[in-house]
Structure 1
């Protein structure tokens, strides 16, 4: 799908579907929507609003045939909701609603108003970015493994054109479009990785994907070298699988002196059976998404050389499977992490934190200024926050605040959870420094308390994406299935430094 910008009038533009908008309870449209209404002999105001009762509620739609009165075949009217509630995140959401409706109308060529940049008075660059993100995210489909019916061509949008009358805004719109494309395509890249079957996206495949990224350095640490580095916790998880572990280290360096060195670490369990503490069958479904954190990190790294943040970024993934093979690690095993701390295995299904422990130790040895890890770590976080928000916790409030702000800008939600010292009691072990799991209470925070043992005094934040990583229904601009959550948060944060 090609997305482009055109200077001109909506009423003079030929396309299959022309997208315009309306705030809630507007009786007489103004701006570009008003111009289209006038060209259609006031059908929007006199019929759609007055007779049909179109309210303009957020994401409400109405399709109007033009009968040749303007070059567009149909007009798609989309509600913006209440003016006082309208923001850039809703621009993205409205654009996704419009593109989905256009697909259902079997349209090929779409023209659209720049939502938010007219009466709402929002910045044209930002609006173009959001319209582009919403268009790309909203049109996402993963149909790679579905049989093709030659007699029924796939319904697919070929082009979307943002039409703007004011020539002074065109350059900003073009720049916003480019940024929106990069971020949305990276998010969809993460969704693709998670959507692939676990027999396809193995640790080896993740390593190959990382090595294929342009504009970064990439090193793969194989099992033998990982053993020399003392990554016993990570390698223990990998022991039960026939798939070899791959420790992935990607590096982006800016053109000038970096403002900071930041490590972003993604949990990379490409399939989680639970190990010897095996999951029930119903809980094992969708466990291909246990590498959603690594997908977010790899996807983020894939666009940094094009966005040029002024920070050095180390993308780290300790990739492996957690399987119950003959060599699998066992409950009661005692493991030594890279920093020398010992861990009693209380539950082999609490494996992600073991791989992250060594990944965090590796990042500490790089002498980075900040560490952010992102992981589908606990079912407890899903229970606590549902699929609408990820949990965040850490040892540095400024870092946490900055990440929450970056998530808000990207249309993602982070909710802070506590790391009270009293939680440490549940991880006490009689035979090691601590256990890898403890009480069922405060499970998300306990996992954070565990990870905190490996960060030293480096500012660190842990994001638990167990809820939003795999959606059970369409939510805003995202469809049911893998969401690519975390990509927009990480990209926005790195660009903000």
Structure 2
């Protein structure tokens, strides 16, 4: 088994040094940001200018945004390399800087380097739109770690390479105490965000036979124990006693019984103004009796990506320790077509007493989320975010490019979308008109779990929203963005860990607003 999580390996730091000190560093590779204008004006270190000018003359490297070029350094040994990363002629946004760093990391992985020194311009903020050292530091740190991620594999024979182990940012000259503090803050946040995304990716990429509901519960308890969080796991007996009919129904066809996981983060003296995070934790989804088609079913290992996302957020909170209160709830089950599986036509009673008419057992995520939302409310949540790989319909609307959002509170949603713009994770709001809510009405129960194909991404989200019972709420459908067929930007093929960074960013903004 190989492919360590990027978050476990890479150490990141910054040093302010002289130019001669940089040349003597004992590292496997240097990374240098390059703008064509900088090369033409000779503003870069002479050692790099002398290499870049011939490359540009031969059109091998033009310094275009995200373009990379790696070459050995003569007389420096077999593994001494420089990686040039283009930034173009205009300042980069923090997201573009993040992607540039990810490209540099991927180039470094191909050369199997372990230690990297990244030479920064003086000041680096000249390359950025935001003109903020902390933002730039965070973007570079996140980009390098996320770009260096390698999915775990299980091959018998694998070359012994553990990935990038050390990244050292180098800034020539002196810096003020405020700038140094900004850099340290940015690196600390970048490490917390990226480590937490890697955690979510690792869990989501696990094969279904290696992650059943009890395994997910153990992973959550490990995070809670790491930071001393209060936590609990309800087993199938307790779920039945409490009347969590939705979670029990979805999980009853599997040999692996369901679980309900809860973690509390208390960053304020009083348990009030509590943010509730609810993540869909279907560890494998066959569709149940309403069986999915065979092609592509293997990707249903990712149907717990919502649970992985909210657990990643809790990890980030443990590292950053903001003054907020958060309760995380994960209803987790395996949706299988066994002899005891729930069936189309069943009517089940959820935890808050509301009844659900089951029209499609492949619309199971919203059914378990119903119990999770009610439990989060019971734990004191005063506003709610649920995260789920909920519908194929969101793929039809937004592809694998953007996460679909439905909400009952416009201000909360606007604040969340602003947070997503800072993290570079695309979120697109879908309408929540009264007519869509009306489509959920059932003739025999309080709500039905499927409304057909029309407006399905919206009505599925609104189904979950009925269990918010009037509390401010956002639903995030990550069915398209949680698992990619090929790498893009800072994301690899496979699990992306999407929404970990944006939810964390939004939570930190809530702290700042207090």
**TM-score normalised to structure 2 length:** 0.90
Q: Give the match's secondary structure for 2:376.
A: helix
Give 2:47's aligned residue: 39
Cα offset, 1:341, TM superposition: 1.8
Answer yes or no: is 1:193 the counterpart of 2:203: yes
Identify the residue that residue 164 of structure 2 maps to in structure 1. Answer: 157
Match of 1:4, SS? strand
Q: 1:462 to 1:40 in 2, by over 3 A?
A: closer
Task: State which of 364, 372, 386 in structure 1 corresponds to 2:377.
Answer: 364
Give 2:423's aligned residue.
410
In structure 2, C-alpha distance between the alignment counterparts of 1:465 and 1:41, rounded to whole Å: 44
Residue segments in structure 2 that go unaligned for 5+ positions in a row: 1-9
Superposition deviation, residue 337 in structure 1? 1.6
Q: Corresponding residue for 1:99?
A: 105
Q: How does 1:423-438 map to 2 (within 5 A)?
A: 423-438=436-451
Q: Relative to structure 1, is the Cα distance of residues 450 and 114 closer, same or farther in structure 2, using a 3 angstrom cutoff? A: same
Q: Which residue of 2 aligns with 1:75?
A: 82
1:304 aligns with 2:325: no
Matched residue count: 489
The correspondence of residues 290-369 of structure 1 with structure 2, limited to 5 A, is 290-369=303-382
Q: Does the residue aligned with 1:387 lie in a helix, a strand or coil?
A: coil
Task: Label 1:323 to 1:419 Cα distance change in 2 as closer, same or farther (>3 A).
Answer: same
Which residue in the other structure is 1:111 paired with? Answer: 117
Q: Is structure 2 residue 140 aligned with structure 1 residue 123?
A: no
C-alpha contact 1:191 1:484 (8 A) present in aligned 2:
yes
- Once the two structures are overlaid, the 10-residue window that deviates more, 446-455 or 382-391, is 446-455
- Is residue 264–residue 315 contact of structure 1 (8 Å, CA) maintained in 2? yes
Q: Which moved more, 1:185-194 or 1:447-456?
A: 447-456
Q: Distance in 1 between matches of 2:100 and 2:270?
A: 40
Q: Of 279, 283, 288, which residue of structure 1 is paired with 2:301?
A: 288
Residue by residue over 1:50-106, the C-alpha shift from the partner in whole angstroms, topping out at 9 and shown as x without a partner, is 34363322111223444249999332211113415x111111111111111122223
Partners of 1:49 and 1:114 in 2: CA distance:
21
Matched, 1:399 2:412: yes
Instruction: Answer yes or no: is the 8 Å Cα contact 2:64–2:86 preserved in 1.
Output: yes
Report the Cα offset of residue 133 of structure 1. Answer: 0.9
SS at match of 1:112: strand
Alpha-carbon distance in structure 1 between the residues aligned to 2:108 and 2:100:
12
| Equivalent position of 1:147 in the other structure | 156
Would you say the 8 A contact 1:58–1:79 is kept in 2? yes
Partner of 1:422: 435
Which of 48, 52, 62 is matched with 2:69 structurally? 62
Shift of 1:455: 1.2
Q: Distance in 2 between matches of 1:394 and 1:54?
A: 46
For 1:429-456, what per-residue CA distance to the aligned partner results, in whole angstroms no more than 9, with x for missing partners? 2222221101201110010221222111
Q: Is the 8 A contact 1:240 1:327 kept in 2?
A: yes
DSSP 3-state at the match of 2:127: coil
Measure how far apart 1:361 and its partner are. Answer: 1.4
Q: 1:50 to 1:261 in 2, by over 3 A?
A: same
Q: 1:49 to 1:489 in 2, by over 3 A?
A: same
Q: Which residue of 2 aligns with 1:176?
A: 186
Counterpart among 18, 29, 40 of residue 17 in structure 1: 29
